Each structure stands twice: as structure tokens, then as C-alpha cells.
Amino acid sequence: MKILIIDDQDLVLLSLEKSLTDLGYEVITSKSVTNGILKYDNHLPDLVIVDINIPENENEMVQNNHELTSNVSGLDVVEHIKILREAKTPVMILSGNTDEAIIEKGFILGAEDYMKKPLSLTEIGLRVKRLIGSGTIYKVEQTNKLLQKGVIGVVIPCYNEAERLQSEAFKQFIDKNLGYHLCFVNDGSKDNTLEILNELAAEHEERISVYNCEKNGGKAEAVRLGMLHLSKIQQFDYIGFLDADLSTNFDDFQDLVTTISNSEFQIVSGSRMSRMGANITKESARAIISKTINFIIRKTLGMEINDTQCGAKIMTKEIVEKTFQTKFLTRWLFDVEIFMRMKKVYGLQQAKKLICEQPLKRWIHADGSKLSMKDSFKIVGQIGQIALKYK
């Protein structure tokens, strides 16, 4: 039995194709509405799975001599099959879209099923079986594999991380969460970090990539280059960054993703403030310095952001394109510069509306991840540099 899957995001297509092929179905894929309709007419599949929100692929339209239209969507596929062709081919709508009017229109046009992301591959397999029967393989282990609501690119800067890199944790995460792509940026490491990262990527070609910087340029530049690299890839709904030592773990990062995908915010930043000061009797000097630095940063920004230095943020491509184009002034305070650049682009009041600071629940200090006391004093001078540059 043949199944046609139409979705513009490579990770979604890859996951569904492998899952349904493993169950014994013949799978055909397409990344655009126009090409998907052509493949339907050419192959006459037994089932069509289509995403509602598919921006038309201009290159494919040129290749197929179709005029470019701007209002196409997955519903056009449903209309072509059910209304124009008057076919009885079952159609399953797969989407993160929760607009009831769009969902209703899909069913009015004749769609047999609607699947709302996130959902498991197991559920998708069961729904396919209900509509067209079993494939040639009846039992494949697919438990705990999830398609997220969106496709997320995550930049992970690495400098001499060979001893600390939690490779297994990263593997387990992408094996379970199929909507994520991890881009490790090797920042001129002097140990064998690059070798480890290349091995990791080779085992997961579509879900892990390595961006190699031959020389160490600092965390700010590593993150900047990685974010710009991912922003050029069409499939990502959001792009973020995360520390290689996982001081912010994946559960908290996914909470940040959930917040931005269900809101009008354009950047959601993790905050460790609820955890800071927990060891104040043990590290009172460090706690006092941290709070002093934070006070100075807030006054410089003109925003009540409690923790700019957390290494976990998620944002829209628009923010990346408008704030990452030029090098940051400092190696460590680039988070502050992101907000300063947003203020310059959008104005203070609008920038405040686009930024969300979200407390982390599980953040920890990994060994060797703290800045030294000497670095803490340097930061004060760097804040002054930033204030002068962006005044």
C-alpha cells in the first residue's frame, strides 16, 4: 500500500517516512503543495498525509512550470483529491494548527482524520492502520518517539568539551524528540572534541550536524555563526542555543520552546534567578557580585531582565536575522547585546513585549562552567563598553 506524505519540513518527512516504511508501507514524499498534487495524480496512493501550513516551494514550482501563488495550503491538497478528483482516497491532516475554522474546513472538504502535534509515531501508525489496514510488517518498536509541534534548531557551542560532553544524553534526546536538529559548533577546540562531534553526527546525519571554526573565537562568535547557519535552513520554526554541559537540561529547554510556540513572544530566555543564592552562605561573595552585576545590566538595558547570562534561549528567525548579523562586542555578554540590539531595532517598549524571561526548574552548575572571580570583575568594564556602543 502506498502513502503520500506532504510536508515542507525535512525532519517531519524523514521521521514519518522511516516509521511507515518500517511498518511495511510504500512511502512517497513531497515538500510542496504543487509537487504533492502532481505526485498524487501520478502515483494514486492509498492514503495521503498532509500538513496544513505548507509555504509553497518556489523552486519546485519553476521546475514544474506552475505560476507562483501565495495562498496555497495543505487544504488545497484535500480539495484537489476530494472535490476536483472526486476520489475516495483517505486524507489525514497533520498539523500544529489549532485554528478551529481551518480544522472544520478540512473536515468539510472531506478529510478523514486530523492529527494535532505533538503526537507519537505509535499513534500515527495506529491511525494509518485504521484507515487502510496493516502494512507488510506488523510490529515495530516505535515507542516514546514524538513529533513536536514545530521543528527546532539548537546551537550548542563547544570548546574543549571532550571530557564533559554528554554524548549519550544528546543521542537519547534526538532519538525520542524527532522535531529537533542539534548543531554543535566546534570553537577551535585543542582536544579531540571535533573528532567526538563528527562521530556523533555520522551516527545521526539528519538530526545532528557540526559547524567547525578552525580558530577559537569565543562563545559569542561560536553561537552567532551557528545561529546564522541554521537561520538559512527553511525548515526550522525556531532556533535557540544551549550549553554543551547541559547545565540547562532538555526538559527545561522544551518548556522554553512550548512558551514561544504558544505565544506572541519572539525570544524566550531561561532564568536561573530562582536558584541563585541557594548557596549564599557558602559563596556569599560570588552571590553579592552576581546580584551587583545583574543590577548594573538591568539599568543599562532599561529592562527588568533578571538573568541575561543563562545559556539557554529560543527565538524566531526574525530575531536571529536582525540581531546576529555583526560580531558581538564581548565574548561573554552577547546575551546583553542581543537585548540591546532588539531595543535598537524595535524600540524599548516593543522590545519588552517581544521578550519573555522564564525561570528554570532544574538548572545546575556543571564542574568547570563558572566564571572566575577575575572574570566577574572584567564583566563590569564590558558592560560599560556595551552601554557606550549602543547608547
Using one digit for the tens of pLDDT, what is the confidence trace for 294-342? 888 999 999 999 888 888 999 999 999 999 999 999 888 999 999 999 9
Query: What's the pTM?
Result: 0.88
Among 217, 216, 166, 221, which residue's Cα sits nearest to residue 196? 166
Strand pairing partners for 249? none
What domains lie within the chain, and their CATH numbers?
2-132 (3.40.50.2300), 148-246 (3.90.550.10), 267-391 (no CATH)
Cell of 52: 496544513
Please give the mean pLDDT across all residues of the chain.
Answer: 87
Q: What is the dihedral of CA 373, 374, 380, 383, to 10 degrees?
A: -110
| H/E run at residue 337 | helix 334-346
Strands 208-213 and 312-315 come out as unpaired
**Which pLDDT tens digit goes with each residue over 363-390?**
665 555 455 556 667 888 889 999 999 8
C-alpha dist (Å) from residue 375 to 86, 327, 378: 69, 21, 5
**Which pLDDT tens digit goes with each residue over 256-288?**
999 999 999 999 999 987 554 444 444 566 667
Strand pairing partners for 179? none
**pLDDT score of 346:** 97
